[in-house]
Structure 1
Amino acid sequence: MEQKQVLIVDDDARNIFALKAVLRSRNIPCVSVSTGAEALQVLSTEHAIGAVLMDIMMPDMDGYETISAVRAMPWNSRLPLIAVTAKAMVGDREKCLEAGADNYISKPIDVDELLLQLQQYLSE
């Protein structure tokens, strides 16, 4: 059985680099894109994605819009989406979950927490 990949969606190359390093060190395959539109493109063609790490603060199409668009794709309606945001304000978690995210993690990312969340989704 092919191991599911994690799709990293973030407009900051440093965040992508750091997340990829963490995931690869744990032998978790991952791919990355830097815009919501690219994420939708990947998710419409790539079916080996097991979870998505979605940055919320992105130009053009933000994470909330992207999550809603992913949820509108019938085959991705149950895809695990973890919102990743530097905005750890009151109400942000709820806003992410309302948009359709399954979970939420704030920056700076707690690697152990991230891996726990991913493990839960990738082992299903």
Structure 2
Amino acid sequence: MFNAATAIDRTKIGAALTGQTINALLLDDSKFDRLRIRRMSREAGIPIYMDEAVSLEALKLLLDEESFDVILLDYRLESGDGIEALEIVRAHPVNSQCPAIMVSGVADPDVAVRAMRLGCSDYLAKSDLDAEGLRDAVLRAIEKSALLRDTDRNRAEAARVLVRVMLQEVRNSLQPELAAMVRCIRGLGARADHPKFNLGAGLEDLDARARAMWAMLNQMVDAAPVQAEFRAAKRKTWTQ
């Protein structure tokens, strides 16, 4: 399978892809168009292994069988359309983030906008498509996917660092309070038989320390939206 993390220079494609194969999936119910696109992929100068699906059901089966580096989706299908196919890809547990390219016999700006909003990397008109255009679209899609994965990894690492920092703050803040409460409880037990022992004052001290700890916990809960913002940013990645 093609390693998307490898840097790609489109002017030196052969060198950049030496020993690697792009595992592609093509959804198109037209045999003529499938053969045409397969021929273009051979002429594109990049090593591509292309599986074919002729329907949405066949697409689902192939998505379940393996992971892909790039998926090409015909918009006009006998049953369903490319937008429905793209939604199936995005909902798939394994291939949900696979870069996708919409291919259509008719240039439709509205369809293009919908496809891009669902994270489609490109929208190509079949009438204008040639080997060079297919090659560039595939490489652009894979490069964009690699960049997005790097961004996700950076965000995930930032979240892990944030959690570690928060846990350290919790430990550093609560340890002194817990130690003081333990000392207070031990002191109450040691002075319980003393004639001048003031249980009320000791309980007030414990109550004050417990309230302080409760306030600290509330502050930690207030910090939780930072994690929610991180998750929301991750969900938006495919629409950028």
4+ runs of 1 displaced by more than 3 Å? 121-124
CA distance in 2 between partners of 1:121 and 1:90 (Å): 19
Equivalent in 28, 35, 39 of residue 59 of structure 2: 39
1:25-48 Cα deviation digits (max 9, x unpaired): 33321111111211111011112x
The residue aligned with 1:112 is 132
The residue aligned with 1:8 is 26
Pairs within 5 Å for 1:1-124: 3-25=21-43, 26=45, 27-47=47-67, 49-108=68-127, 109-122=129-142, 124=146
The residue aligned with 2:226 is none
| C-alpha contact 2:60 2:88 (8 A) present in aligned 1 | yes
| C-alpha contact 1:81 1:102 (8 A) present in aligned 2 | yes
CA distance in 2 between partners of 1:7 and 1:52 (Å): 5
Q: Which runs of 5+ in 1 are unaligned?
A: none
RMSD, matched Cα: 1.9
| C-alpha contact 2:42 2:48 (8 A) present in aligned 1 | yes
3-state DSSP of counterpart to 1:83:
strand
CA distance in 1 between partners of 2:142 and 2:108 (Å): 28
3-state DSSP of counterpart to 2:52:
strand
**Greater share of helix residues, 1 or 2?**
2
1:16-70 Cα deviation digits (max 9, x unpaired): 00111111233321111111211111011112x2101100100222111111011
| C-alpha contact 1:54 1:81 (8 A) present in aligned 2 | yes
Identity %, equivalent residues: 23
Structure label with greater radius of gyration: 2
| C-alpha contact 2:75 2:82 (8 A) present in aligned 1 | yes
How far is 1:92 from its partner? 2.5
3-state DSSP of counterpart to 1:18:
helix
Question: How many equivalent residue pairs?
Answer: 123
Q: Which runs of 5+ in 2 are unaligned?
A: 2-19, 147-240
**Greater share of strand residues, 1 or 2?**
1
How far is 1:111 from its partner? 2.8
CA distance in 2 between partners of 1:102 and 1:120 (Å): 8
CA distance in 2 between partners of 1:62 and 1:90 (Å): 15
Q: Give the aligned residue type for 2:32.
A: R
3-state DSSP of counterpart to 1:75:
coil
1:61-93 Cα deviation digits (max 9, x unpaired): 211111101101132221010000112133231
| C-alpha contact 1:10 1:55 (8 A) present in aligned 2 | yes
